[in-house]
Amino acid sequence: MTRTTEHHIDMNETLGNVPASRSGVAITPAHRHFFRALPKAELHCHLLGAVRHDTFIALAERTGAPIARSEIDAFYTRGEKPVGVLRVLRALDEYLLTRADDLHRIAYEYLQDAAGQNVRHSEFFWNPTGTVRVSKIAYADAQAAIVAAIRDAARDFRISARLIPSIDREADPDEAVQVVAWMKAHRADEVAGLGIDYRENDRPPELFWEAYRDARAAGFRTTAHAGEFGMPARNVETAVDLLQCERIDHGYTIVDDPALAARCAERGIVFTVVPTNSYYLRTLPPEQWAELHPLRRMAALGLKIHPNTDDPTLHKVDPAGAWQLMFDHFGFGIADLRRFMFNGIDGAWVDESQRAQWRTAWAAEFDALAAALP
């Protein structure tokens, strides 16, 4: 490996190890401070995708998991054509998480890391089906542990957070109905709504209409991973029109359906996009990755996009890095980032008075930070 290559990887460590920027935008230390300090919401992050590398090792040692240290290190290595992280999440359920306290630990550590990046509010996903069926931790205990971590982190790090129990779409749709039944039986203020994730291929959103109907009827908010992995815009349409989702996670292929995009723009639906998404890093030519990435066109179509980390420790990205990528790779300016910040507030599942307060306070902070840029 040449020195240049080493340097390239070092520089990209918090930027998802993505192709070097060709935009010509210069990043100074003042910019780095700006991306870190700007007040952020995070609306698309998976609890199991945010486990620290050393915590993964410690849990594996405690449980005697049949995963070699080299394999763990490979999980936490991001190649130039990343294979995706879903198998790592499955390994966590299967071997590492054995008691509710483990969930408290990873949630508390995630929120500590996020707060260190000036994430003021996080809404993060957790898949109860794997926890209950595979890790054999009861729903009530698991949710209580995560909610306790949210309260502890609020006290210790001044970050607010909400939990989004998320459907494992590779499991039977009846399991999704069960997730909503658990949510209804164990209500907590911090448990805001329902999501769905895992492999979208062959698992379109309509399979899960019943769980979404029940969630809405019970007063939960709703979002869905749709239009990821190159799956059709139709899945976004189904999530919006049939499941009646208020937010969409990813949603990239909506660029293939401008009429649908116009409707979503009109309705102000927030799209939580992920600059380090594995599918596009794998399938677009590296030298054109930033240029051809659909999230650019989503913004041009008037959609309310908001940048997120998704699986930060596995993607080798942090919130500051995700925002920096929008600026130095994807061609957005400081005024665009300001709009994205407001999109995050608009999309947050908190009451309107809280959103109004954030709009005022965060705008003032953002403007003061932006004024200090070269």
CB of 205 to Zn ion, least distance (A): 14
User: What does the H/E/C string look like for the chain?
Assistant: CCHHHHHHHHHHCCECCCCCCCCCCCCCHHHHHHHHHCCEEEEEEEHHHCCCHHHHHHHHHHHCCCCCHHHHHHHCCCCCCCCCCHHHHHHHHHHHCCCHHHHHHHHHHHHHHHHCCCEEEEEEEECHHHHHHCCCCCHHHHHHHHHHHHHHHHHHHCCEEEEEEEEECCCCHHHHHHHHHHHHHCCCCCECEEEEECCCCCCCHHHHHHHHHHHHHCCCEEEEEECCCCCCHHHHHHHHHCCCCCEEEECHHHHHCHHHHHHHHHHCCEEEECCCCHHHHHHCCHHHHHHHCHHHHHHHCCCEEEECCECHHHHCECHHHHHHHHHHCCCCCHHHHHHHHHHHHHHCCCCHHHHHHHHHHHHHHHHHHHHCCC
Which C-beta is closer to ligand HPA: that of 314 or that of 369?
314
Which C-beta is closer to ligand HPA: that of 86 or that of 317?
86
Which C-beta is closer to Zn ion: that of 109 or that of 310?
310
Tokens coding 241: 């029109």
- The answer to whether 173 and 210 are in contact (CB under 8 A) is yes
Q: Could you identify the residue written with the tokens 């399938």?
A: 283
| Position with the least CB separation from ligand HPA | 197
**Residues of span 238-267 touching ligand HPA by CB under 6 A:** none
Contact pattern for Zn ion over residues 292 through 311, marking x by CB under 5 A:
------------------x-
Closest Cα to residue 340, out of 369, 298, 374? 298
**Candidate residues 93, 228, 237, 257; the one interacting with ligand HPA per rule CB under 6 A:** 228
228 near Zn ion (CB under 5 A)? no
Contact partner, 92, from Zn ion, ligand HPA, none, Cβ < 5-8 Å per class: none
CB of 228 to ligand HPA, least distance (A): 5
CB of 183 to Zn ion, least distance (A): 19
- Taken as a whole, the chain contains a residue count of 374
**Residues of span 42-61 touching ligand HPA by CB under 6 A:** 46, 49
Tokens coding 52: 């620290």
Count residues contacting ligand HPA (CB under 6 A)?
A: 10
168 near Zn ion (CB under 5 A)? no
Contact partner, 170, from ligand HPA, Zn ion, none, Cβ < 5-8 Å per class: none
Contact partner, 123, from Zn ion, ligand HPA, none, Cβ < 5-8 Å per class: none
CB of 289 to Zn ion, least distance (A): 19
Which C-beta is closer to ligand HPA: that of 226 or that of 290?
226
Which C-beta is closer to ligand HPA: that of 34 or that of 124?
124
Rounded Cα distance, 40 and 42, in Å: 6
310 near ligand HPA (CB under 6 A)? yes
Rounded Cα distance, 143 and 163, in Å: 9
Which C-beta is closer to Zn ion: that of 65 or that of 314?
314
- The answer to whether 55 and 361 are in contact (CB under 8 A) is no
**Residues of span 170-209 touching ligand HPA by CB under 6 A:** 197-198
Contact pattern for ligand HPA over residues 84 through 103, marking x by CB under 6 A:
--x--x--------------
CB of 346 to ligand HPA, least distance (A): 21
Contact partner, 294, from Zn ion, ligand HPA, none, Cβ < 5-8 Å per class: none
Count residues contacting Zn ion (CB under 5 A)?
A: 1
Which C-beta is closer to ligand HPA: that of 41 or that of 226?
226
Q: Which spans of this chain sit near Zn ion (rule: CB under 5 A)?
A: 310
Q: Which spans of this chain sit near ligand HPA (rule: CB under 6 A)?
A: 46, 49, 86, 89, 197-198, 225, 228, 310-311
